[in-house]
Amino acid sequence: MTFTEALHKEGILLFDGGMGTMLQAQGLIAECPEMLNQTHQAEVAAIHRAYREAGADVVETNSLGLNTVKMAKHGLESEIPALAQAAVEAARLGVGEDIPAAFSIGPTGDFLAPYGSLTFDALYQAFVPAFAAAEKAGAAVLYIETQCDLTETRVAMLAAREQTALPYVPSFTFEGNGRTVMGNPPAACAVLAQRLGAVAVGINCSGGPEELLPVVKAMRAATTLPLIVQPNAGLPEFLDGVTRFPFSPQDMAEKMPAILEAGADGIGGCCGTTPAHIARLRELIAGRSRPRHPDALPETLSHRRVVLPLAEALAALGSFALRPGSTLSDDMEDWMDETEEAEAMLLDVSAVEPEEIAALLDEEQDLMRRPLLFRAGNAAQAEAALRHYCGITALYGPGLAEAAARYGAYYLGE
């Protein structure tokens, strides 16, 4: 069964539970847990098999850390293709061909400059070796999970879309304030995922079902995509140097109905959940049907921090022409004073080189607390703006409808 078939079957879709915590519970503790796909492939496969026997419809590979940034820390960058292949093989060994293996990939742990040390291209390339190997090895979907920075998630989605033919699903993790570590609200994550072509959107890790409930509601209201929710077995407790997740399978089964009622199409578990938890969730979802989705994706502009109805943003639009060699911060104060009432900003980049547009957005877009729209003079300028801007935007300029469509932007004509 392909992932897309599984995603659209009747009833609630059941994912597997924790992998890292299951390996640790067996004493399989490795500095680089993905090495276990080679050194202990039978043990990894046995965990996948246990999840399938518990009733999971989809399993996730043991490959969370297989991006070049994380693997470079172990000096194992060049091993990524082999380890990705071994991860998919371990899943196949465990569950056969009947259910899809989702290839799990997690965050780099670094950020784009100025928050971190990465350039856009380095971040993009960080995902390419694992994605290519996962596709070759027969993974059904790229599951871009435990995401805490929408900018990085967006770049990973671009790499997935441009470098493979596989479907992709971003899954985000949230803090106690209901936002990601980098301040992204759930609605912005969901809207951006849908407009960039993801086949579903997810929430994983973060906390237990109770902590995730408001986030599930916010995402459900913002997207028509299937929503997949994989909480931890409660908030971790630290006792005598040991991390423990408190919820038993029965506890989880008692707390998950609220998640289903809030609109989840798929559920599973993250840290601390076991095949016993998944078996209880299988009983819980028996006979349940899918939730109602919004009828259509709302027409919105999003920036990594805000989501605005498109009509409202267009009605109160401030504008700014970027001069070659200028920076946003140079003129920021004047601009902000002049346009205090503006809901969104139109940035005219038609006099600026594409490389300069890209660099400026990478470095300074976060100074803008409102969505940016662009006026571009040609396709190269539009492309630079749309690739590097972290949000859903709208575009003015001659002949740019195709570029806008490719990045899920609204085209507003010349």
The answer to the question of residue 64 lying near Zn ion (CB under 5 A) is: no
Q: Where are the strands (E) in 112-226, listed by range?
A: 141-147, 168-172, 201-205
Question: E strands, 93-205, where?
Answer: 101-105, 141-147, 168-172, 201-205
Q: Any contact of residue 271 with Zn ion (CB under 5 A)?
A: yes
How far apart are alpha carbons 76 and 214 in whole angstroms? 39
Strand, coil or helix: 329: helix
**286: exposed, middle or buried (Cβ count in 10 Å: 0-12, 13-18, 19+):** exposed
Applying CB under 5 A, the span of 48-56, 136-144, 204-212, 366-374 interacting with Zn ion comes to: 204-212
Task: State which residue, 271 or 349, has the beta carbon closest to Zn ion.
Answer: 271
Q: Does the footprint of Zn ion cover residue 368 (CB under 5 A)?
A: no
Site membership for Zn ion, residue 190 (CB under 5 A): no
- Does 213 sit near Zn ion (CB under 5 A)? no
19 binds Zn ion (CB under 5 A): no
Question: Is position 205 an interface residue for Zn ion (rule: CB under 5 A)?
Answer: yes
- Report the distance separating Cα 237 and Cα 168, nearest Å: 33
Q: Please say which residue, 146 or 381, places its beta carbon nearer to Zn ion.
A: 146
Determine the interface stretch with Zn ion among 81-89, 199-207, 245-253, 276-284 (rule: CB under 5 A): 199-207
For residue 84, what is the enclosing H or E element? helix 80-95
The nearer residue to Zn ion, 145 or 356, going by C-beta atoms, is: 145
Whichever of 234 and 371 has its CB closer to Zn ion, that residue is 234
Tokens found for residue 155 = 């770049």
Residue 374 and residue 381: Cα distance in Å, rounded? 10
CA distance 260 to 280: 14
Minimum separation from the CB atom of position 20 to Zn ion (A): 8
Q: Should residue 66 be labelled a site residue for Zn ion when binding is judged by CB under 5 A? A: no
**Does residue 270 touch Zn ion according to CB under 5 A?**
yes
Contact region for Zn ion (CB under 5 A) — 192-200, 209-217, 237-245, 263-271? 263-271
Note the residues at the interface with Zn ion (CB under 5 A). 205, 270-271
